[in-house]
Amino acid sequence: MSRASKEDFQLNRSRKNLRRDVGQAIADYSMIEDGDLVMVCLSGGKDSYAMLDILQRLQKSAPISFTLHAVNLDQKQPDFPEQVLPNYLEQVGVDYKILEQDTYSIVTDKIAEGKTYCGLCSRLRRGILYNYADKIGANKIALGHHRDDIVETLFLNMFYGGKLKAMPPKLLSDDKRNVVIRPLAYCKETEIELYAKLMDFPIIPCNLCGSQDNMQRQNIKAMLQGWNKQHPGRIETIFRSIANVSPSQLADLNLFSFKELTKQSETSEVSEPLNVVEVFR
């Protein structure tokens, strides 16, 4: 098999895997419905490129009709290549909008040197995007978080926030104005990396937070990758646990009414224990 034929085979297989996972996530969580206007948020990274590409392909074959509107927030980071995304979006033929807001100056001014920018940066970005989605009447806002992002967030919240929560595949915003979806929720980061490489997406690195070392998320990512190397499939198992929760086996008083638990009354009907010998006779 020639090198070109091998790459074509890899590309088709990777695309098939991503389409399957994205389609399953959309179906499981009713992410996209007939007539939806889906605002697809693009950062210029591998994840959002892959998300837009797969959604465009699903749009052509889906049994429902929905519209895609791509949006990028130009945060005025130094040396940001302003024409890369517009050129790409023109090429793939999707309706799009580039929003320009200088959040970079705000973040670098407000956050002390040595501290991570991600918290404030994401809040500012989220507010701008949510307002724009409401303005254009978008039914859904699609973000490019994948399975590994979700698992990393679970451990970030446990280790640093004392909370058992992650990123849900579908979310109603606090102000109730927007529904956020994560179509890549079932997708492995390694699969997305392979697809982005084979598709040769024009990746734009994030020089704002990407230049910072020792971030908590990077530490969590390294930990999980180490676990997965020693025990292949560990990340997948952890992700499945997020969708298979037993409230009575945790300790949240708001999630389960432990105070109302009482011993079963003697007058209540109690089933006879199974006779193992009879069952297998």
Please give the residue that has the higher pLDDT: either 278 or 58: 58
Residue 115: both structure tokens together: 């501290």
Report whether pLDDT(54) > 90: yes
Q: What pLDDT, on the 0 to 100 scale, is given for residue 121? A: 74
**Cα angle 139, 140, 146; round to 5:** 175
Q: Check pLDDT > 90 for residue 102.
A: no
Provide the mean pLDDT of the chain.
88
Task: Provide the pLDDT confidence category of residue 80 given band limits of 50, 70 and 90.
Answer: confident
Of 72-86, 88-102, 106-120, 204-218, the one with minimum mean pLDDT is 204-218
The pLDDT of residue 126 is 84
Mean pLDDT within 193-198? 97
- The CATH homologous superfamily to which domain 3-249 belongs is HUPs (3.40.50.620)
pLDDT at 238 over 80: yes
- Could you tell me which of 190, 157, 151 has the C-alpha nearest to residue 169? 151
**Residue 16 banded pLDDT, cuts 50, 70, 90:** very high
Of 75-84, 212-221, 246-255, highest mean pLDDT: 246-255
Is residue 279 scored above 70 in pLDDT?
no
pLDDT of amino acid 281: 44
Instruction: Provide the terminal-to-terminal Cα distance of the chain, rounded to the nearest Å.
Output: 57
In sequence order, the 6+-apart residues with CB closer than 8 A to the CB of 139 are 33, 35, 36, 37, 38, 179
Q: pLDDT at position 216, please?
A: 83
Whether 208 has a pLDDT exceeding 60, the answer reads no
Per domain, the residue ranges of the chain are 3-249
211: pLDDT strictly greater than 50: no
Structure tokens at 175: 């102000």
